[in-house]
């Protein structure tokens, strides 16, 4: 197997400089482990629901490229768990060397992970987690979603205590949505923040806009604080707020998570008030783990990537050099 030439650093402009060579599993890609010294990897992605997800996909494609010693069989499930599980079963049938999954939801993975284990195919989870037994997968690499929620909640208490809050939740049942909600609730417990409503926008811009329109119709000017589980929902909500004749960032303070380019631009422009980063550039760490588990080496069960936070001034400073 070729030695991976890329650095294992998780950040850097090179992570998005090019897309890797990938075969679309949905179009009859020829997977399987028999490509000389290339490691064949099946990657089951959630879909393309947000700017964060697009950056995450490109990071994985870049890291799992032929240049780096991999043959990638890629499938995006359009945020449908049944399609994602079907893709994993397809990878198993193709006899890939390893499988990478960004699980859409926490539950429902026991059977297919058991099938992969019985087939002798190691599984790496990236981004989100699952409720299945840890002995069914080799490792997980991702972010501390609960801490992200806590950081968002801490800012809310320090800068908007006493506010009337609405929340745009991520995909129902996803670890990101569950843990961010838990962290935010912990940080705001005992404060004077009043939660008016909380609904899912499914991590999409359209979803965020539609739900925010409903919030505004129901509560109107009572709302003065919004917590969105990701930038895309916050951006959709921003459109709804402006359409209602209100000033985002002023009439309604907005806290989001991700720190993708469009979100950071909104923060720099004063339309968002605070962003907690969720770094999507997990590809190099995933590639490192895949190479090790295929070689039979031991790896850590959990690899947590550190996040940072941004105010308006910090966003202005770093935006010109952000890789995503």
Q: Give residue 1's pLDDT band: very low, low, confident or very high (50, 70, 90).
A: very low
Q: Give residue 35's pLDDT band: very low, low, confident or very high (50, 70, 90).
A: low
Are 124 and 172 contained in the same domain? no
Is a pLDDT exceeding 90 seen at residue 301? yes
Average the pLDDT over each of 25-29, 74-78, 109-113, 117-121 and give the range with the smallest value.
25-29
Q: Which residues does residue 76 pair with via DSSP β-bridges, in sequence order? A: 45
Contact 106, 175 (CB under 8 A): yes
Give me the chain's average pLDDT, please. Answer: 91
Average the pLDDT over each of 29-43, 45-59, 83-97, 307-321 and give the range with the smallest value.
29-43
Are 150 and 208 contained in the same domain? yes
Q: For residue 59, which of 1, 142, 130 has the smallest C-alpha distance?
A: 142
Q: For residue 97, which of 69, 77, 75 has the smallest C-alpha distance?
A: 69
Is a pLDDT exceeding 50 seen at residue 6? no
Are 26 and 65 contained in the same domain? yes
| Residue 5 covered by a domain | no
Are 183 and 239 contained in the same domain? yes
Is a pLDDT exceeding 50 seen at residue 231? yes
Q: Dmax over Cα atoms in the chain, in whole Å?
A: 64
Are 238 and 301 contained in the same domain? no
Q: Which two tokens stand for residue 73?
A: 């069989």
Are 191 and 317 contained in the same domain? yes
Q: For residue 146, which of 124, 177, 174 has the smallest C-alpha distance?
A: 177
Q: Give residue 306's pLDDT band: very low, low, confident or very high (50, 70, 90).
A: confident
Are 113 and 256 contained in the same domain? no
Are 229 and 208 contained in the same domain? yes
Rounded to the nearest 5°, which phi and psi values hold at 111? Answer: -65, -50
SS3 sequence of 202-242:
CCCHHHHHHHHHHHHHHHHHHCCEEEECCHHHHHHHHHHHH
- The domain of 183 spans 145-278+313-321
Residue-wise DSSP of 66-117: GGGTEEEEEEE-TT-HHHHHHHHHHHHHHT-SEEEE--SSSSS-HHHHHHHH
| Residue 202 covered by a domain | yes
Could you tell me the CATH number of the domain that includes residue 293?
Answer: 3.40.50.2300
Are 172 and 261 contained in the same domain? yes
Q: Give residue 29's pLDDT band: very low, low, confident or very high (50, 70, 90).
A: very low
The structural domain count of the chain equals 2
Are 189 and 257 contained in the same domain? yes
Question: Between 231-243 and 205-219, two packed helices, what is the crossing angle to 10 degrees?
Answer: 40
Using one digit for the tens of pLDDT, what is the confidence trace for 179-223? 999 999 999 999 999 999 999 999 999 999 999 999 999 999 999
Question: Between 51-63 and 261-268, two packed helices, what is the crossing angle to 10 degrees?
Answer: 130
Are 84 and 210 contained in the same domain? no
Average the pLDDT over each of 46-55, 146-155, 268-277 and give the range with the smallest value.
46-55
3 state DSSP class of 320: helix
Quote the pLDDT of residue 30. Answer: 35
Q: Which two tokens stand for residue 32?
A: 């399987």
Taking the C-alpha atoms of residue 65 and residue 171, their distance in angstroms, rounded to an integer, is 29
Is a pLDDT exceeding 80 seen at residue 257? yes
Are 123 and 212 contained in the same domain? no
Q: Which two tokens stand for residue 255?
A: 């806290």
Using one digit for the tens of pLDDT, what is the confidence trace for 169-191? 999 999 999 999 999 999 999 99
């Amino acid at each position: 197997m070729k030695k991976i030439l890329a650095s294992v650093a998780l950040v850097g402009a090179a992570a998005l400089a090019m897309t890797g060579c990938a075969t679309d599993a949905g179009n009859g890609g020829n997977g399987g482990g028999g490509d000389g010294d290339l490691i064949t990897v099946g990657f089951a992605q959630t879909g393309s629901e947000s700017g964060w997800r697009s950056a995450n996909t490109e990071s994985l494609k870049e890291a799992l490229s032929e240049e780096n010693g991999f043959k990638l069989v890629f499938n995006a499930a359009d945020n449908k768990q049944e399609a994602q599980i079907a893709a994993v079963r397809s990878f198993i049938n193709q006899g890939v060397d390893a499988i990478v999954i960004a699980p859409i939801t926490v539950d429902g993975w026991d059977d297919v992970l058991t099938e992969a284990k019985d087939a002798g195919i190691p599984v790496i989870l990236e981004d989100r987690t699952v409720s299945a037994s840890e002995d069914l997968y080799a490792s997980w690499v991702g972010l501390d979603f609960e801490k992200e929620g806590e950081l968002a909640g801490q800012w809310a208490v320090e800068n908007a205590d006493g506010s009337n809050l609405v929340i745009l939740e991520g995909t129902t049942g996803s670890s990101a949505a569950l843990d961010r909600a838990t962290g935010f609730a912990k940080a705001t417990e005992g404060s004077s923040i009043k939660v008016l409503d909380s609904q899912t926008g499914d991590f999409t811009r359209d979803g965020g806009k539609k739900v925010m329109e409903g919030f505004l119709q129901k509560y109107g000017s009572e709302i003065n604080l919004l917590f969105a589980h990701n930038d895309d929902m916050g951006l959709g909500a921003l459109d709804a707020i402006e359409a209602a004749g209100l000033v985002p960032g002023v009439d309604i303070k907005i806290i989001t998570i991700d720190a993708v380019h469009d979100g950071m631009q909104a923060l720099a422009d004063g339309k968002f008030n605070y962003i907690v980063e969720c770094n999507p550039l997990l590809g190099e760490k995933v590639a490192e783990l895949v190479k090790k588990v295929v070689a039979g080496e031991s790896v850590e069960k959990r690899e947590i990537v550190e996040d940072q936070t941004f105010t308006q001034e910090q966003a202005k400073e770093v935006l010109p050099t952000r890789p995503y």
